[in-house]
Structure 1
């Protein structure tokens, strides 16, 4: 998902982990919630399918 210029947008009240520093309300979809996160947090959210505390993630 980029900036919501096409059909790739958040549904209402969906949440997104984003590493972009360009954020404003409604940017990625009406009433969607974009959380600005570090690259490590974005990777962890992608792997686990939810927001996690990366301090609790161990790499083996």
Structure 2
């Protein structure tokens, strides 16, 4: 899933057609704001799932019980999304 950090970021990405690229690649294009970064809604990792996150902090269980969150720059998160691997 892709969750833009703000309405401005979402609008810019959509004006460049990035949303369509992500959707065609199989990603869900979400509304901007907090999503998995807080794990306060159904958007959480299942046990054993991994997340390439551009959020600014991580602690055990933050994005879902027994999930693994890897903090990285936007460039590395994009690389992970394109290649399907973290690292």
> RCO higher in 1 or 2 (8 Å CA, sep ≥ 6)?
1
- TM-score, reference length from structure 2: 0.55
The C-alpha deviation readout for 1:8-38, integer Å capped at 9, x for no partner, is 1000011111111121110000010001111
Gaps of 5+ in 2: 1-35
Find the partner of 2:82 among 33, 47, 60: 47
Q: Which has the higher helix share?
A: 2
Q: Which has the higher strand share?
A: 1
Residue of structure 2 equivalent to 1:14: 49
Tell whether 2:61 aligns with 1:30. Answer: no
Gaps of 5+ in 1: 53-60
CA RMSD of superposed structures (Å): 1.2
